[in-house]
Structure 1
């Protein structure tokens, strides 16, 4: 809102021309002598303000836009009025994308000539003279009428401060009074511009009189509406008092019925007396019940308190299920529901053993991390069945409001408890298995951060006294068995990750998928589609064909869908009257499911020079990939393609730099590297790729290119490299090895520090592969190249030179430090 200022900025003589920046004004008009706040955010406007601030006078001209553009487009000279106000910037505060200004109008000006449009509008303006009085009697009459209307308006606005009243009534200058009224009243751009352009005081006061008269009329209508509304309120109060008197009369006559609110309160009191509540909860419930008794039935607070008391009485404050402590039975249930997953099953049995020895122990907080379809959610249900506990699931995917977990305070209309308290109320016990599904999909916005609320819920040192905003009483969550699930750990904040016991669920091998399909998926789909084992039989070859050619996943969700599709097609034939048992083999799979959808990447029989086989981890499991390198005669530098991320690009640069700096040790002519560019490509260019684990593969492909020697086609590799020649460990070993095994790879080169990860690989896969464990890049190259002449002067760690050795010498166990495991 504008205000009248006693101190005036020095006036500029009328007729003087100035060259100043122009500030386009949207839906507002500035007047001389008024001080108003402005928010500047458009590109040209920001540039104009910056230019004005750089001058000593800090002057610019505010000109109103004829038709405001809400799209954010900068105004052009043709969009602006000719008359504006010369303003002085008094104060400026910067924010992220805008400026907050306090400006004071100085003089009216007219744009004479536009001289610049970029980076901001700039024009030559002429200072206009102040409005003059044409008819003194008419001006005096208009002034008195305006003051009379102002007094009427102030009489209907009791909240206006006294100093503002005095400033408006006693304003000595009728021009400044008119400008002030135009600033505080919403007159519209056209009327405000008309007042600014008025050459005489007579015209100016005439427009101001019409505006204030309209505002007084609106205030009178508002006063009338408020008076009528007050009459309705008085009528409602009168009815309320009459009803209260009627109740008193009925009570005296013995006509008081127990079926009303009294019976409701009596029922709540009986439930409260019989409920097993903690002392603090009981005291709060009794206090709220006494308050409810004093309220009329029609009061909004009456129903809010009743709902609150019902929640308190229905929560399982001290009600728990009894755990099944039979370890053998728990193992049987877990094995019955899920194949493999020994780490998880062992952890559940450990918990049961601890509860058996110490019944008051706290429940663990687990987090299952793994790709989709490996059984994370169903595993939670199986755990609840093995423990004999209730199971509740809360989906956190897409949750952005912290109040969904903590609840809303009762001061809000329609307030409810958070999802944690609601889940406990539904299950009726205080020790369920509570699954927090998709914890890595939690969002965050202006309403709060749900992940921060989980810090208390999942902290055993705090959750014994969890306070929901709605209940506002401590509830013990330490007995709840929390299980969180996630596809990846990266989005989960570190403090939250620290509060959970992380258990990784890797993807399944083809052999494991085959067993899962035979033991779980096929029997379930046969039953769900109304078939029996006498009507359909799916062979092992058919299952393997479906796994390899119709699915590409780490889990078994898509596999079950394909089996269900087969079962439905067989059910159609049975429903049409066919009685012969349907034997589904690989050929029948093609007939029922159509052409294969996937053609798995397979090991190439022979790799060209400059090509090496690598391994990659994805959310869907593992894949093998081929790194291809070729020389660019006469070119320079390193060209990288294949939709590679920054880390992967840096690995390629490190590999080239290492080989260049050690060229003679590996029998490479440095001139080849210096005089030729290299193009390195990773196929499947539409798929983003990143991470350091392809470092050894890139180094091997480049070494093959520079030496002219082929890489073994039965060998795949993974590992991070350094400029010092070391090979560092990487993650996702199980998924990568399984992918290589599916592709027909026989030898795998791994970082030596990943040796412990080999224990996670299924025995049948591990026995069919040869693992070469390495610590340095030269060991990788020795193991990767085919057995052909490989002259290289190997530099020992002490700097001495040794004679060239053949690949057979280098790969032998006596010469090579790498560990080969069959």
Structure 2
């Protein structure tokens, strides 16, 4: 290698390196560098370009510079504002800095030119092999790094010599400053080739790893990015439309949690769900489910209560204004108010109002809510057979919802409303669960302070709810459920009570509904009594309200079409508005008859009289029952005939009488199903009358069950039965001795004009009912 020494201006480069063969421009602003360039322009325009080891050093010394740099020729100088000089240089060859002159105003170095002689030592085959190897690896690199222009790639791949290709690659690929310095210091061609091959191989691996990572990240980010972009676009659209909502749903939820009256555990659960919601894609199905769940939790009144009105006088006034009669119910509600005012506690009884339809069970619950100033929630349980209706659906199911109990709290907005569980006797069960069993926890005062709804999953306090249930009968209510409730019987209304209800409540209500003013329609008391007795047959007042509505509609037609000022309804013109009477009471028989006895029955619509007929004829001892009787009545008839046969000697009946005669028991209205434990003594009396040929008193009616030994057992529905007897103009009613306590609770208004006779044995029944034999 031939070497020579010379002195030349040196320019220190910060953050860049210039390779031989590179044409590049850069800016300089340090005075020493500017002076070095100007000095070079005055001589042969040659400078030595050395890279600084640390770009932050302002006044570099020899130790701060790499030893080997590039000798370059200055091609152009441009002065820029701010004492900046833009220099265009062309790298020519490598040079080594031997030393710097110590006292110079700019950097002047003593250099040694470096020449590579290994190229001459390489055979043409070796050079071709190295050229092809470099070309192949560069092709791979150009595939991975698409930022290198096609023209540059083409120029590099068309290079015919190894050194030319090495220089072109070093100049055009984006290497770091350190990488370029390595190539500058590799004077030996073979050494430079090897280092460049290693660099390109490493770059290829780096690019491949980067591409794999980017693909994985892109796969995860793309959807979120798309959602984000769409949301941002939606936000801009809303802003343009003036519908901007800058606060996110999650932030709204967090603000709502802060205001929520609830325990710490409840708030923590809601916050956890909100954090889950934040991290979900906005348009995912799970996001919608979680959002609905959070909204439900926030809408529940965890610790929010309303203040009850505990004024007894106010409560009594409201109940009396809204309802006539129902003394027991009113008394029980006022007792509850009195206890609440003394204890100040939220424990509430569970009342169950039992009675026929139309007797005001549902409406009195609304009046109680009004009297107590409570929120009113009505839950109809008729026909509910899915346990999820009470306990809610599990959130794993699509379309899951909370149960009716929790939904009621949500709509009430407070944790102490009044709940009306309507038609509790009509809940049923199937393969989806037992609804009545689900109600056990709801109505148990010891358990319902931590009621768990499958949807909400957080225990909900139901202990401060005032539950009032309604039922038509207790027979179909499961015993465990019945045990949790306090029964209050709502009995049938008397005709007098119906008259008061019509005058004080119904007429005003139906007139308002049909647009009539007070003076446009008048209904006389006699007309009302006629409607009650001749056009309705019920325990409650629903049909009475319908008939009054019918009169109002026809009166409205007359007022409009005939320009009348007032319509008067009297007993005489009642047929004009309602047609002929639909119901006539089966009155007491006019004369005493053999084998015909009047019994008393209870139906879901109130009481009714039941005439039982018995005929005896010669035969072979057959015993026949007709009139569509149920099993209980058939058994009562068989018990009655057994009793009669057991006492036949006492009443002078021949022993062979029952083997030679057929007995036929019939209850008229054969198409109507009849069953119940209250016709035993009636059928036994009718059979004894027919056998003895002794008539039964026409003005008597009876109710009671019979045993084989002739004892009379108690029955239910006594008030309704006595009402039916009174309507039929019966004078004497035989009642089981054990029902004496029930008769004492019946008002004197009902008992007025009717005699009650208590009986304990069948012998007593026969003594009162059979007409004495003439002597």
Question: TM-score scaled by structure 2?
Answer: 0.69
Structure 2 residue corresponding to 1:479, chosen from 464, 487, 500: 464
CA deviations 1:622-676 (Å, max 9, x no partner) are: 1101111011212312110010111111111111111111012223333333321
CA contact (8 A) 2:593 2:697 kept: no
| Match runs of 1:733-744 below 5 Å | 733-744=718-729
Structure 1 residue corresponding to 2:761, chosen from 753, 767, 776: 776
| Match runs of 1:759-774 below 5 Å | 759-774=744-759
Are 2:487 and 1:502 equivalent residues in the alignment? yes
Are 2:365 and 1:365 equivalent residues in the alignment? no
CA distance in 2, matches of 1:659, 1:551: 40
| Match runs of 1:562-641 below 5 Å | 562-641=547-626
The residue aligned with 2:517 is 532
CA contact (8 A) 2:351 2:467 kept: yes
The residue aligned with 1:661 is 646
Structure 1 residue corresponding to 2:335, chosen from 350, 354, 362: 350
The residue aligned with 2:711 is 726
User: How far is 1:703 from its partner?
Assistant: 1.2
CA distance in 1, matches of 2:694, 2:519: 58
CA pair 300-628 structure 1, distance change in 2 beyond 3 A? same
Which ranges in structure 2 are unaligned for 5 or more consecutive residues?
A: 1-215, 234-238
The residue aligned with 1:240 is 223
Q: Count matched residues.
A: 553
CA distance in 2, matches of 1:741, 1:571: 36
CA pair 671-423 structure 1, distance change in 2 beyond 3 A? same
Are 2:647 and 1:675 equivalent residues in the alignment? no
CA contact (8 A) 2:641 2:687 kept: yes
CA distance in 1, matches of 2:346, 2:283: 48
The residue aligned with 1:786 is 771
CA contact (8 A) 2:593 2:698 kept: no
CA distance in 2, matches of 1:248, 1:479: 44
| Match runs of 1:83-94 below 5 Å | none
CA deviations 1:295-342 (Å, max 9, x no partner) are: 222232222222211111111111111111111111111011111111
| Match runs of 1:512-551 below 5 Å | 512-551=497-536
The residue aligned with 1:304 is 289
CA contact (8 A) 1:673 1:706 kept: no
CA contact (8 A) 1:370 1:506 kept: yes
The residue aligned with 1:385 is 370
The residue aligned with 1:397 is 382
Are 2:539 and 1:554 equivalent residues in the alignment? yes
CA distance in 1, matches of 2:231, 2:346: 57
CA contact (8 A) 2:425 2:471 kept: yes
User: How far is 1:429 from its partner?
Assistant: 1.1
CA distance in 2, matches of 1:549, 1:633: 43
Which ranges in structure 1 are unaligned for 5 or more consecutive residues?
A: 1-232, 251-255, 791-822
CA pair 273-611 structure 1, distance change in 2 beyond 3 A? same
Could you say what secondary structure the match of 1:534 adopts?
Answer: helix
Are 2:278 and 1:293 equivalent residues in the alignment? yes
Could you say what secondary structure the match of 1:392 adopts?
Answer: strand
User: How far is 1:607 from its partner?
Assistant: 3.8
Are 2:742 and 1:752 equivalent residues in the alignment? no
CA contact (8 A) 1:605 1:713 kept: yes
Are 2:242 and 1:264 equivalent residues in the alignment? no
CA contact (8 A) 1:354 1:361 kept: no
Could you say what secondary structure the match of 1:587 adopts?
Answer: coil
CA distance in 2, matches of 1:659, 1:705: 11
CA deviations 1:688-736 (Å, max 9, x no partner) are: 1112210110111111111111111110001011111110101111111
Highest Rg: 1 or 2?
2
CA distance in 1, matches of 2:540, 2:611: 24
Could you say what secondary structure the match of 1:324 adopts?
Answer: coil
CA contact (8 A) 1:693 1:719 kept: yes
The residue aligned with 1:816 is none
User: How far is 1:236 from its partner?
Assistant: 8.6
CA contact (8 A) 2:390 2:438 kept: yes
Could you say what secondary structure the match of 2:544 adopts?
Answer: helix
| Match runs of 1:147-296 below 5 Å | 239-240=222-223, 242-243=225-226, 263-296=248-281
The residue aligned with 2:314 is 329
CA distance in 2, matches of 1:386, 1:317: 24
The residue aligned with 1:468 is 453
CA pair 530-244 structure 1, distance change in 2 beyond 3 A? closer
The residue aligned with 1:157 is none
Could you say what secondary structure the match of 1:598 adopts?
Answer: coil
CA distance in 1, matches of 2:610, 2:591: 15
Are 2:425 and 1:440 equivalent residues in the alignment? yes
| Coordinate RMSD, CA, aligned | 2.3
Could you say what secondary structure the match of 1:475 adopts?
Answer: coil
User: How far is 1:356 from its partner?
Assistant: 0.3
CA pair 519-670 structure 1, distance change in 2 beyond 3 A? farther
User: How far is 1:786 from its partner?
Assistant: 2.3
User: How far is 1:532 from its partner?
Assistant: 2.5
CA distance in 1, matches of 2:749, 2:245: 74
CA distance in 1, matches of 2:230, 2:506: 68
User: How far is 1:521 from its partner?
Assistant: 0.9
CA contact (8 A) 1:456 1:463 kept: yes
CA distance in 2, matches of 1:701, 1:244: 87
User: How far is 1:247 from its partner?
Assistant: 9.4
Are 2:645 and 1:684 equivalent residues in the alignment? no
User: How far is 1:497 from its partner?
Assistant: 0.8
The residue aligned with 1:182 is none
CA distance in 2, matches of 1:274, 1:680: 75
CA deviations 1:798-818 (Å, max 9, x no partner) are: xxxxxxxxxxxxxxxxxxxxx
User: How far is 1:555 from its partner?
Assistant: 0.5
